[in-house]
C-alpha cells in the first residue's frame, strides 16, 4: 500500500489581488491569498478524498507558514516541505480584469526560496511511498537547479514505477516560447501523461492541425509515454490514449459564471489525474471539465469542491439554490 496517491512538486506564491475590478493604481486594499499550480492540483485532489503531499522549499517566515498551514487546512500533507531561514517567498500581484480587459499578473518571484532548491534538498525517499508525481513547466522555468530537480524527479519516479503527469503551463512572463520548447521537450517525452492547452501547443511546440484531434495526434507523436490531454478554452477538452489509440472528448459545463479564473487549468489537471488514477480517461476529462467549471466560481487558486458536488454537476445540476 502506498502512502500518497499524489506528490506535487513546485512553488507556491503569495497572491495579492485587487477587489471589485479595481486597477492596482487605484486600489487601497488587496486580497491576500496564495497558490501555485502544483499545490492547486494537490488541494483539489485532497478535497476529492485522495492522499496528497506537496514538496517545496519555503522561507520560514509568516508568509511561508501561512502557505503551509492553509494547505494543511485543505488536507494536503506539508510535513515534507523544506524550510529555510534565508530566502523569500515569491509573490505576484493580480489585477483582476473583466472582458475586454484582461486580468494582469505582475510577478515578483525571483530569488525565492524555492528557486534555490537543490538536489540535496529534495525528500527523495518519498517517491517510494507514492503512486503518482505531478510536475509542471513552471518549476522547470524557475532556475537551473529547479530544472534539474524536475528532470531528476521525473527520472527517479519512472525507475520507481510512479506515473508522472506533466502540465506544460507556459508563462510568457517567465520565458520565451523558444526557451520553453527547448527545455520542456525532453521532459514531455518522458512523462506518462502530458497536459497542455491548445494555445500552448501551438505557441510553444508549433503544433498545428485543423481539429483538436489532429493537434493531439501530432502531440502524441512527439510526447508522453501514455496519454496526452489538451484543454480547448471554453470548449471542453480532448485526450488521446497511446496504448489503445483512442480519442476522447468531453464538453464543458454549459454556463459558467467567472468568479476567479486563476487555477482553472490546475483544477482540470486534478480531475484528469483522478480519472487516470481510476484507470478511466473519459472520466478524467469529465471530472477535469467539471472541476474547472466549479473552480471558476470560487475565489482564490484552490478548487474547494467536494466529490459530491462534482458528481452532481456531472449528473446535470446547474446552479440554483439547494435548500
Return the residues of window 98-117 that contact its own copies according to CB under 8 A: 98-108, 110-111
- HSE of 159, CA atoms in CB hemisphere, 13 A: 10
> Which residue's CB is nearer to its own copies, number 26 or number 243?
26
**What is the helix (H) or strand (E) element at residue 190, kind and residue range?**
helix 177-190
Closest CB 46 distance from its own copies, rounded Å: 11
Cell numbers for 179: 526557451
The residue range among 125-133, 151-159, 236-244, 313-321 that interacts with its own copies, by the rule CB under 8 A, is 313-321
C-alpha to C-alpha distance for 303 and 77, rounded to whole angstroms:
17
153, 9 Cβ separation under 8 angstroms: yes
Torsion over CA of 182, 188, 194 and 199, rounded to 10 degrees? Answer: 10
Which residue from 2, 49, 62, 244 is in contact with its own copies, where contact means CB under 8 A?
A: 62
* 124 touching its own copies, by CB under 8 A: no
Of the residues 41, 43, 58, 63, which one makes contact with its own copies according to CB under 8 A:
63
Is there binding between residue 293 and its own copies (CB under 8 A)? yes
For residue 154, how far is the Cα from the chain centroid? Answer: 16
- Single out the residue of 35, 236, 284, 300 in contact with its own copies (rule: CB under 8 A): 300
Q: Which is nearer to its own copies, 60 or 218 (CB)?
A: 60
Phi-psi region of 245 (alpha: psi -120 to 50; beta: other; left: phi over 0): left
Task: For its own copies, give the closer residue by CB, 107 or 124.
Answer: 107
Residue 31 binds to its own copies (criterion: CB under 8 A) = yes
- The interface mask with its own copies, positions 215-254, x = CB under 8 A, is --------------------------------------xx
Using the contact rule CB under 8 A, the part of the chain among 73-81, 116-124, 146-154, 268-276 near its own copies is 73-81
Q: CA 169 to CA 26: how far, in whole Å?
A: 31
Neighbours of 174 (CB within 10 A): 16
Q: Which is nearer to its own copies, 61 or 145 (CB)?
A: 61
First to last CA, the chain: 41
Eight-state DSSP code of residue 86: S
| Residue 192 among the catalytic residues | no
Q: Which of 167, 192, 266, 301 is catalytic?
A: 266
Residues making up the chain, counted from first to last: 323
Which x/- pattern over 250-289 shows residues binding its own copies (rule: CB under 8 A)?
---xxxxx-x-xx---------------------------
Kind of pairing, strands 13-17 and 227-231?
Answer: unpaired
Among 11, 95, 269, 301, binds its own copies (CB under 8 A): 95
How far apart CA 108 and CA 90 sit, in angstroms, is 6
CB-nearer residue toward its own copies: 30 or 82:
30
Q: In this structure, what are the phi and psi dihedrals at residue 57, rounded to the nearest 5 degrees?
A: -125, 130
Asked if residues 78 and 68 have their Cβ atoms less than 8 Å apart, the reply is: yes
Q: Does 308 help bind its own copies (rule: CB under 8 A)?
A: no
Residue 93 interacting with its own copies (CB under 8 A): yes
Q: Which residues are known to be catalytic?
A: 266
Amino acid at each position: 500500500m502506498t502512502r500518497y496517491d499524489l506528490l506535487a512538486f513546485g512553488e507556491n506564491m503569495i497572491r495579492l489581488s485587487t477587489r471589485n475590478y479595481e486597477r492596482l493604481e487605484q486600489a487601497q486594499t488587496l486580497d491576500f491569498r496564495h497558490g501555485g499550480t502544483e499545490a492547486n492540483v494537490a488541494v483539489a485532489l485532497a478535497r476529492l478524498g485522495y492522499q496528497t503531499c506537496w514538496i517545496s522549499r519555503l522561507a520560514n517566515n509568516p508568509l511561508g507558514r501561512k502557505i503551509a498551514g492553509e494547505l494543511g487546512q485543505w488536507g494536503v500533507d506539508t510535513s515534507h516541505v523544506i524550510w529555510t531561514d534565508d530566502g523569500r517567498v515569491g509573490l505576484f500581484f493580480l489585477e483582476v480584469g473583466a472582458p475586454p480587459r484582461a486580468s494582469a499578473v505582475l510577478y515578483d518571484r525571483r530569488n525565492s526560496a524555492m528557486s534555490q532548491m537543490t538536489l540535496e534538498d529534495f525528500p527523495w525517499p518519498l517517491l517510494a511511498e507514492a503512486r503518482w508525481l505531478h510536475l509542471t513547466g513552471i518549476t522547470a522555468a524557475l532556475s537551473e537547479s529547479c530544472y534539474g530537480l524536475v528532470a531528476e524527479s521525473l527520472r527517479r519516479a519512472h525507475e520507481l514505477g510512479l506515473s508522472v503527469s506533466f502540465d506544460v503551463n507556459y508563462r510568457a512572463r517567465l520565458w520565451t516560447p523558444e526557451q520553453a520548447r527547448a527545455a520542456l521537450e525532453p521532459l514531455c517525452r518522458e512523462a506518462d501523461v502530458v497536459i497542455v492547452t491548445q494555445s500552448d501547443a501551438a505557441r510553444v511546440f508549433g503544433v498545428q492541425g485543423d481539429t483538436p484531434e489532429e493537434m493531439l495526434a501530432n502531440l502524441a507523436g512527439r510526447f508522453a509515454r501514455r496519454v496526452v490531454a489538451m484543454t480547448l478554452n471554453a470548449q471542453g477538452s480532448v485526450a488521446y490514449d497511446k496504448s489503445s489509440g483512442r480519442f476522447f472528448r468531453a464538453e464543458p459545463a454549459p454556463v459558467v459564471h467567472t468568479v476567479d479564473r486563476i487555477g482553472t487549468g490546475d483544477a482540470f489537471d486534478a480531475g484528469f489525474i483522478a480519472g487516470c488514477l481510476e484507470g478511466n480517461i473519459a472520466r478524467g476529462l469529465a471530472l477535469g471539465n467539471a472541476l474547472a467549471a466549479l473552480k471558476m466560481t470560487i475565489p482564490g487558486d484552490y478548487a474547494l469542491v467536494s466529490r459530491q458536488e462534482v458528481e452532481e454537476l456531472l449528473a446535470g445540476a446547474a446552479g440554483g439554490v439547494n435548500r
